[in-house]
Amino acid sequence: MLSLVYCPALCKLNGNPILPKAASYVENRIRVMREARGLSLDTLATEAGTTNQQVSLLETGKRRLTVDWLLRLAEPLKCHPWELVASDLPHPPAAEEIRLITRFQALSGGQRSALLRLMDAMVEPTADA
């Protein structure tokens, strides 16, 4: 994982402070979350009350991602707003994991229990289980 540290004393050009590039651009996980949820650009845009062009610009970092945008996008993506930008999560969920959780949440209680029993039978128990 890349960590950037901004030290004003070391980051100067001709005596003037230089802002780190990270201050103007934040990588995001909007596309990963959208694809994992099976949403098209149009669907996400409609649910977030914007256009697919705006969502595309946000995904590619060509439009500034504000807190307002994070809040607007997090609801249709069914995630916490910071999950869209957090790069320091212990293990950001992969698209397959997000898809698995989404499908699991759609199951009835009985279906969940049956699936968990099946998974328990397929996977050897671990020391922390």
Q: State pLDDT tens for residues 80-128.
A: 898 898 766 556 678 888 889 889 999 999 999 999 999 999 987 766 5
* Gap between the Cα atoms of 93 and 101, Å rounded: 10
Domain segments of the chain: what residues?
A: 26-122
Q: Which CATH superfamily groups domain 26-122?
A: lambda repressor-like DNA-binding domains (1.10.260.40)
Q: What is the predicted pLDDT for the residue at 4?
A: 36
Tokens standing for residue 45: 């845009």
Lowest mean pLDDT among 34-43, 46-55, 82-91: 82-91
Residue 25 has pLDDT above 90, yes or no: no
Q: What is the predicted pLDDT for the residue at 88?
A: 61
* Gap between the Cα atoms of 64 and 61, Å rounded: 7
What is the b/e burial string over 82-112, where b = at least 16 CB atoms within 10 angstroms of the residue's CB?
ebbeeeeeeeebeeeebeeeeeeeeeeeeee
Please give the model's pTM, rounded to 2 decimal places.
0.53
Percent of the chain's residues with pLDDT above 70 = 71
